[in-house]
Amino acid sequence: MCGIVAYVGPKDAAPILLEGLQRLEYRGYDSAGVVVSNKGLKVRKVKGRVADLAKVVPARFKGSLGIGHTRWATHGVPSDVNAHPHLSADERIAVVHNGIIENAAELRAKLEADGVVFASETDTEVLAHLIAHAADENDTLEEAVRKTLKSVVGTYGIAVIDAERPGEVVVARNGSPIVLGIGEKEMFAASDVAALVRYTRQVVHLEDGELAVLKADGFHTFSSDARETAKEPLTVDWDAGHYDTGGYEHYLLKEISEQPETITRTMSGRLDERFHVAHLGGLNMDARETRGFRRVKIIGCGSAYYSGQIGAQLIEELARIPSDAEPASEFRYRNPVVDPDTLYVAISQSGETYDTLAAVQELKRKGGRVIGIVNAVGSAIAREVDGGIYLHAGPEVSVASTKAFTSTCLAFALLALHLGRVRDLSPADGRRIVEGLRRLPGQIEQVLGQSDRIAELAKKYAPHPSMMFVGRVRGYPVAREGAQKLKEISYVHAEAYPASELKHGPLALIGPDMPTVAIVPDDELLDKNLTTLGEIRARGGQVLMVGHREPDAKLADDVIVIPKNEIELDPILLTIPLQLLAYYAAVALGRDVDKPRNLAKSVTVE
């Protein structure tokens, strides 16, 4: 959730660190800091934004080696003192850290008993003091870091520098990402490739339990037991231009607007017009293996989980395989029964979501077959699974997921088509789905063409303190995702319920101050959904309906009509107006749309 940047080379480190931290702002943070090495360590850190940090970094802040950090508070309130980097008492060692040290209290107590005085409330400062102590007893910084990490329980991505060894940075990973960037006689490290792509597209991903030493002329990697490890660099497809707003007011609006292109990329090369099937070679499964699965279990967190619910519905309808979705955090802690006849699907835009990664590792340990649906090539989950589908949606910068969500739903449609055609889905139904997928980009363009009207509706409904979202079967996960979007970026309280469940309790909330957003596709449940609208209206509730036709004027105050596709694919289209509604509501309320409070883009802690 925090951000790390490190540099060693011939240039001044500070501008590179600050620019890298700006690239990581989308991950969410509350404070920032940098340290450079030049005849000692020079540190600047502040509570606030990277722009605030840049104001306190003096012009003569020279040093060709340094590390920087954006912090998302876990131990101690956001403050200048608790901001990273943290230094040892002798100011020899500086550390930045993502993750949580679970035995920090125990380690801190031992250090305090030895006379160490702590400056902050953080768990990270423990590392600085322990590494400094180990450095006094060892010849190399890498050995000091390796020895220290043996005593640490928890997750970490760290970068460490030593004032007495000004030519090297040591980094390590366990559950929190670290990526090395290979330049021309210079080296970089970061928690996300976004901080690197302006300088290099040659990267190396560290594995859990792996460390690396960076020097200007190269790097070497090794395991926690000091064995050398071999790493092959990857070339990332994204460049610095992918992280610009492209003239849009917010990244979120840019990413909503990109969806016709992003789902086209997700489909590209994967549809077979001859046999009306999806080609998914990355699954690494032949037809015989595929037919052997009797159930599909989908795991993810937040919007990824809701896309998994849409995916489960698609797989059941098209492939007739029992399927369900579950939050990864719940799955990993309830000691699940891992069935060899079940195909497990892990979803993560970043490929680094800690709860999902831990669930994948538990499944693998128990012999489960796991595939991934991931956007970030080379990420931890992508490396851990047996196969999968890359989204190719491009980097998603805004904290709220939009284009990755729809591309994930599209990937599930491809997976469902693939599974269905191996089993009992007829060529005629396969053709119908393929044609429907082909229509989606143009239909999304049509929905985006209603942005001005949706903005006006958002202004109308945004002042209400709460909103209800309802839908049936295919519409229910759409309602859940719509409520999620509204509350995470506008801070308007929103609840989502199956429409059929309203009368079993939530209907007590309905009244003039609780508008309802109703997902009403033109499917076999249309009449039942319209009956629900009547129940809401009879109790004085306002209704904003999202569907394929205008209902009786008595049933809805406002309607957003969208194009109709195949009923199985309609949920993908139904999400688009809800994204726009949430975005324009947040703008109307003056929210920080791309960086909503208390949230982070990539959740790499529990």
Q: What Å distances lie between residue 436 and 308, 408, 524, CA to CA?
A: 20, 16, 18
Task: Please tell me the least confidently modeled range out of 38-52, 235-249, 370-384, 553-567.
Answer: 235-249
- Residues 13 and 420: their CA atoms lie apart, in Å, by 54
- Residues 578 and 44: their CA atoms lie apart, in Å, by 42
Percentage of the chain lying above the pLDDT 70 cut: 98
Cβ neighbours of 233 (radius 10 Å) = 14
Q: In the 8-state DSSP scheme, what is residue 571?
A: H
Confidence of residue 606 (pLDDT cuts 50, 70, 90): low
What is the per-residue DSSP string for 86-155? EE-TTS-EEEEEES-BTTHHHHHHHHHHTT---SSS-SHHHHHHHHHHHHHH-S-HHHHHHHHHTT--B-
- Residues 79 and 31: their CA atoms lie apart, in Å, by 7
pLDDT 10s digits, 240-276: 667 778 889 999 999 999 999 999 999 999 999 889 9
Helix (H) / strand (E) containing 309: helix 303-319
Q: Is the pLDDT of residue 420 over 90?
A: yes
pLDDT 10s digits, 266-288: 999 999 988 999 999 999 999 89
pLDDT 10s digits, 59-84: 889 999 999 999 988 888 999 999 99
45 noted as active-site residue:
no
Confidence of residue 52 (pLDDT cuts 50, 70, 90): very high
**pLDDT at residue 26 in the model:** 73
Which of 254, 487, 595, 601 does the annotation list as catalytic?
A: 601
- Residues 460 and 453: their CA atoms lie apart, in Å, by 11
Of 365, 321, 317, 325, which Cα lies nearest the Cα of 347? 325
- Residues 6 and 17: their CA atoms lie apart, in Å, by 7
- Residues 382 and 205: their CA atoms lie apart, in Å, by 11
Beta strand residue intervals within 460-552, DSSP E: 466-471, 493-498, 516-520, 543-547
Task: Please tell me the least confidently modeled range out of 407-416, 504-513, 597-606.
Answer: 597-606
**pLDDT at residue 234 in the model:** 87
**pLDDT at residue 377 in the model:** 84
Interior angle at CA 521, CA 518 and CA 523, nearest 5: 135
pLDDT 10s digits, 313-342: 999 999 999 999 999 999 988 888 999 999
- Residues 22 and 499: their CA atoms lie apart, in Å, by 43
- In one letter, which amino acid is 367? G
The answer to whether 410 and 375 are in contact (CB under 8 A) is no
**pLDDT at residue 602 in the model:** 62
Interior angle at CA 206, CA 157 and CA 400, nearest 5: 60
The answer to whether 194 and 243 are in contact (CB under 8 A) is yes
Which of 2, 47, 297, 595 does the annotation list as catalytic?
A: 2
The answer to whether 25 and 68 are in contact (CB under 8 A) is no
What is the per-residue DSSP string for 39-91? SSEEEEEEES-HHHHHHHS-TT---SEEEEEEE--SSS-S-TTTSSPEE-TTS
- Residues 36 and 64: their CA atoms lie apart, in Å, by 7
Q: Is the pLDDT of residue 483 over 70?
A: yes
- Calculate the dihedral angle through the C-alpha atoms of 342, 272, 308, 328, rounding to the nearest 10 degrees: 50
SS3 for 487? Answer: helix
Mean pLDDT of 3-8: 96
pLDDT 10s digits, 371-392: 999 998 888 899 999 999 999 9
Please name the residues in contact with 417: beta carbons below 8 A apart, sequence gap of 6 or more. Answer: 277, 278, 318, 425, 430, 433, 434, 437
Tokens coding 589: 């309320």
Strand 3-8 versus strand 187-190 pairing type = antiparallel
Average pLDDT along the chain? 93
pLDDT 10s digits, 144-182: 999 999 999 998 999 999 999 989 999 999 988 999 999
Tokens coding 467: 């909103």
| Burial status of residue 42 (CB atoms within 10 A of its CB: 0-12, 13-18, 19 or more) | buried
460 noted as active-site residue:
no
The answer to whether 400 and 252 are in contact (CB under 8 A) is yes
The answer to whether 375 and 327 are in contact (CB under 8 A) is no
